[in-house]
Structure 1
Amino acid sequence: MIFFIKLLLAHLIGDFILQPTNWVIHKEENKVKSKYLYFHTLIHFLLIILLLWDLGSWKLALVISISHYVIDLVKLYASKWIKKKSVLFFTDQALHLIVIYICAFHGNLKEQTSIMFQHLDWVLITAVVFVTFPAAVMMGKLLEGFSDQIQIDHKSLPNAGKYIGIIERLFVLLFIIIGRWEVIGLLITAKSVFRFNDLKENNNRKLTEYILIGTLLSFGIAILTGYLFISMRGGL
């Protein structure tokens, strides 16, 4: 596993620390003709050799570096058809990680993958997945009758409320799992402080009640999920 961690560290340093913004811009503009594309590839090769501290691993470093070059090049040209940079970014990173994983465990890839899946905490994964989008959809249905009566006269980020709810439920679930129930109170207080100015400016009783119901429902779902998780793990 430490071998995989070193390869991952080399990737993180090469992609996020030793790649200035002007290199990224130059690559986007010049693509295969960009000299920084090749500098970037070389840096990854040298980082792998350095962190593994083994010149005998040059073949592995070469394979990963060349694959990195190919993936980055495909991403640069794919930007013509895929306008969302976030999609390109996460797809690019996922492909890099897959290559690193395969190279790290190429000797026993099937066995290592099987062991990894066997040790996954499926109860935890189910709880985490539930408090994200499934819980958001459930809350939307439960609050549907109230949301139709709310008039919001100020601009807001698209789906901001949904993502705020997802993040806060993940935090609540985490605090319950690690046994820090008191932090949930601080989280509710922090959210109330941030919401105070909006409610004060709008002076809208219906909006205040809607936000209060939504907040309590969101926290309630997360707390119930955390309680069920602990119960299933035999912690209660």
Structure 2
Amino acid sequence: MMVLLLGHVLGDFYIQTEEIAKKKESRFLWVLIHCLAYLGTMTLTSLVILPGSAIYISLTSGLCHLMIDSGKFYSLRSLTSQKKKTPEKERNIFCLDQIFHIISLLFISYIPLYWHFQTWKWQIVTDFFEIAGISFELTAAWILALLLVHKPMNLLIQKMLLISRGQYSAAGLVLTAKSIARYDRISKDQDFAEYYLLGTLMSTAGAILCSRFLII
């Protein structure tokens, strides 16, 4: 599952530019281009980490991604043609899109376990981590966590701030320091204050969740 999540985050958030994301809403050709790039990212990721399952992972995940993104394209196109497209509906479609992707990745990762597929890793990679005394799984979890709290979390914040408003002491200190530094603007600009507070809290929550469930 870690391989699939890494490939998905890279292919759906980092390889895909903002320009491509916008073009995908108007032309299906760009959906196909994005899905090909996603397929390539999944292939490279699985070849590096789990080459024994590279073909299975890349093809099944690429096909599922195409099906889900096609559904998203036609949903947005229908809303646009009916003049019913709103920021709230775009946000809901974005969230559902990612939920369906995660469900499909869970299903894809379950099949090899159910059928007891034989797989293997590059011996040189395995030897490197053994000699270095580093956990491969923990390293992958850290990479995934860092990737998640950057672009995906920023996009989620942008979507969620269109319609709405477990703690650690260190996080509290950071939040307090940031609030003091921007107190003047926060006290004078209500819109900025709401955006700043919600954005900061959501970013912090995302970092905590990634740390809690991926690394620990």
TM-score by length of 2: 0.49
TM-score by length of 1: 0.46
With a CA cutoff of 8 Å and minimum separation of 6, indicate the structure with the bigger relative contact order. 2
